[in-house]
Chains A and B, each alone.
Chain A
Amino acid sequence: MAHPPSARRDQHRFSPPKVPDLVPLMNLFLTIIPFLLLMMIVTQIAMIALNFTQGTSTEKQGEGPLNSTQGTQKNISEITIIIMASQDSLGTTFPGFEIRESGNPKESIGLVNGYYDFVKLDAKLKAIRQQYPDLQDISIAPYDDVLYDTLIKTIDLCRENNFPHIHYKAPQVRYFAQEVK
């Protein structure tokens, strides 16, 4: 007489329910989350603002914005920082900064070791700030070949030295023809 298969033996045929392997998913999460956190901390975007009002499209021709305070500061010097990147054939431009102040001789700050001397520019701006504590306007005129990075650093230094109204100008290039008799 054949015996029926025992119930205990049947249990061994079925494996226990398998838990899905979550370890690869965990690894993925543990990689992505610190990366996202790092991205959120590192990319702190700052802004530099230039303030214009409507109808100041001639700003680049050298006129200040309508909301400037220059109208109330007629007795105070007008300061312009000209940024240059190359030397022309006439020798009128050179790589570096030229600070023009009405009534005073212009001051040149050349490159040092091939870099713009922002430290000297900072010192000069501090001296201007001490000389004119109420001065709020300053103009920046970068030549066309100056890099954007240099322009932003110059604007940033002006902001740091409490010049809230920064005017963006394009330097005027004028050609003079000598009359030949």
Chain B
Amino acid sequence: MNQSKYARGLKHLVPKRHQDEWSLSIISLVDILTILLVFLLANVSVEGQKFTQPNRMAFPVSMKKRDLLEKKGTTVVQIYPDRILIGDRGIYFGTLNEFANDPVKRIEILKYLQTTALQILEDKDEFGNPRTPPTLLIQADRSIPCWYITEFVSLGTSAYYEYIYFATLLDTNWLQHSALSTRR
């Protein structure tokens, strides 16, 4: 009691600027958050983005998660409802309508896929075998008609691609949801 009285008595003697120094220092917290931010941004880097869901594209769903065998030899084909992008850089190859009606476009895509697959096959190990099998990863919107998928599968197999992957989103309960919608 006496002590608090004493402290209260001294309070007016402590200059205000000294009181301010006791406020919470958030600089160290900001440092931690900066490091965390850099770490998270590094994980969502360009290389990772290659195999994640592109913007403005809705993937279909599947029940189990399967990873790519090898990421190195993978060529990505992105089929949007309004455009087709191919390769790591997302080279624009026209619209779906152009793909369907213009044979020159399809030949261009085939040539690009063949060139890319041959580049992957050129990377060989000490026994002369390709290090990674050429893999075509098709990222398509769920609303795309199967004709385009069939054509790309056909182009992929014609261009030496050994594996063809369809990118999907993991949803373990889609069958239950489907059962609910059919029972309504």
Contacts and interface: CB of A to CB of B under 8 A. Distances in A.
A16 B175 contact: no
Interface stretch (A71-79, A98-106, A129-137, A144-152): A144-152
B163 A49 contact: yes
Task: Place the interface of chain B in its size category.
Answer: 35 or more
A18 B38 CA distance: 28
A133 B64 CA distance: 22
Contacts of B34: 29
A160 B63 contact: yes
Given A39-B44, A115-B178, A144-B145, A155 B166 contact: yes
27 contacts: A16-B17, A25-B30, A26-B26, A29-B34, A33-B36, A36-B37, A40-B43, A45-B170, A46-B65, A46-B66, A47-B68, A47-B168, A49-B165, A51-B162, A52-B161, A59-B153, A59-B157, A145-B146, A146-B145, A147-B143, A147-B144, A148-B144, A149-B143, A153-B61, A156-B64, A157-B175, A160-B63
Interface of A: 16, 22-23, 25-26, 29-30, 32-33, 36-37, 39-40, 43-54, 56-57, 59-60, 83, 112-113, 115-119, 122, 142-153, 155-157, 159-160, 168, 170
Interface of B: 17, 20, 26-27, 29-30, 33-34, 36-37, 40-41, 43-44, 51-53, 59-69, 137, 140-147, 149-150, 153-154, 156-158, 160-170, 174-175, 178-179, 181-182, 184
